[in-house]
Amino acid sequence: MSIPEWLHAIQTYMKMLQYNHTGTQFFEIRKSRPLSGLMETAREMTRESLPIKCLEAVILGIYLTNGQPSVERFPISFKTHFSGNYFHHVVLGIYCNGRYGSLGMSRRSDLMDKPLTYRTLSDLIFEFEDSYKKYLHSVKKVKIGLYVPHEPHSFQPIEWKQLVLNVSKMMRTEVRKELEKFARDMRMKILKPSSAHSPMKERPRGKSLSPRRRQGSPQRRACRRDKSPAVLDKKGDLAALNEVGYQLRI
């Protein structure tokens, strides 16, 4: 498959799961969890095949694109206002071969996936903003995260809001300028993936839990050495008592 065909297949799979209208979230998604834990939740989604919402679709989209290193993934969050209430929505931004698009799930068909045809990040964001206007929603804030690493066992959490724009108080020219500067910085970090995420110290594995390693520790060897003289002393005492008893019998 080509990359656009692969992304289309992923979005088709999400649509087959359907949007969760029940009001009950079937999968717990904590944004602060390491990527490895979120990928385990994504595997559970594929096993259970239950309806999902927008946040779950982002995690599932990351999981299903892990095998495509040329595809960069990053979260895009929207805060909108309608009829006195605020609403939150998130999609998975996609960057590949100089084009932007998205994957996701929503109640509205034009607020989820976008084809991989947008030349700039700002064009993609403005397309979502125009789609929101159809439903009388005004976009208040847009949050853009960092590229998600392709290592499914990473202990790093996803960076959800590296750039926060209060678009309701900005001109479109200002929004475009900020988005394109951020997009350029992100593209430069493709060459240096480690700079996109601060490295986290991984927990040492098994150094204090393995029985074999505990037996070979300096402390245990020292204990064995400490006990050795005591054993020799006992043998010497026993020999002395035997000699005394032999003399008494004589």
- Residue that is written with structure tokens 């951020």 in the block: 182
| 214 backbone φψ class: left, alpha, beta (φ>0; ψ -120 to 50) | alpha
**54 has catalytic annotation:** yes
Q: Which of 32, 77, 88, 89 is catalytic?
A: 89
**70 has catalytic annotation:** no
Q: At what angle do helices 35-48 and 54-64 cross, to 10 degrees?
A: 100
Q: Which of 8, 32, 36, 54 is catalytic?
A: 54
DSSP strand pairing (138-144 vs 72-82): antiparallel
**88 has catalytic annotation:** no
Laid out side by side, the sheet with 99-103 consists of 114-118, 99-103, 85-96, 72-82, 138-144, 163-165
Give the tokens for residue 180: 């394109």
Q: Which of 8, 32, 102, 106 is catalytic?
A: 106
Query: Where in the sequence numbering do the catalytic residues fall?
Result: 54, 89, 106
